[in-house]
Amino acid sequence: MPFVTIQIGEGHSIEKKRELAKAVTDTLVETLGTKREWVTIHIDEFNRDNWAVGGELHSDKHPGRHADKSV
């Protein structure tokens, strides 16, 4: 029973998360030969104010990037 945790920044639409879950599930089924109903995916979203690269917050380096487009 594969259990996958995917960490992504907040702001991706529900449609994109559906696409991601389907693509990862399809890959695991094809690669491991597991059953679709055994695949569990946890999407862990984090606030970009809590992510820094090279000493800079991601929200400062890329303001407006991945802004929620589902509104």
The residues assigned a catalytic role are: 2
User: 22: which 2 tokens?
Assistant: 């389907």
Query: How many C-beta atoms lie closer than 10 Å to residue 48's C-beta?
Result: 19
Residues 17, 28: Cα–Cα separation, whole Å: 16
Residues 63, 11: Cα–Cα separation, whole Å: 12
